Amino acid sequence: MSRIRVVPIFVTALLMLALLIGGWQAYQHYNLLNPLKRSLQSVAGVEQVDITTGSPDVVVVQLGPFQALKEGDLQMTYDAISDEIEQKLGTNVSVRLGDAHEGPLTQIFESVFELYIQQGIAKEDYTQMASEVARLAKSYHLAYRLTMDNNDIYLQLQKGPYYLYRVIPYARAGGAAS
Which residue(s) pair with 90 in the sheet?
Answer: none
pLDDT in tens, 20-37: 888 777 666 666 788 889
| Residues 106, 94 share a domain | no
Contact predicate 151/178, CB 8 Å: yes
Final residue of a domain: which of 48, 76, 98?
98
pLDDT in tens, 4-16: 788 888 888 888 9
pLDDT at 177 over 70: no
User: Which CATH number characterizes residue 31's domain?
Assistant: 3.30.70
CA distances for 113 relative to 64, 65, 151, angstroms? 21, 20, 19
Which range scores top for mean pLDDT: 75-79, 89-93, 168-172? 75-79
pLDDT of residue 91: 81
Q: Is 2 or 76 the better-scoring residue by pLDDT?
A: 76
* SS3 (DSSP) at 156: strand
Number of domains in the chain: 2
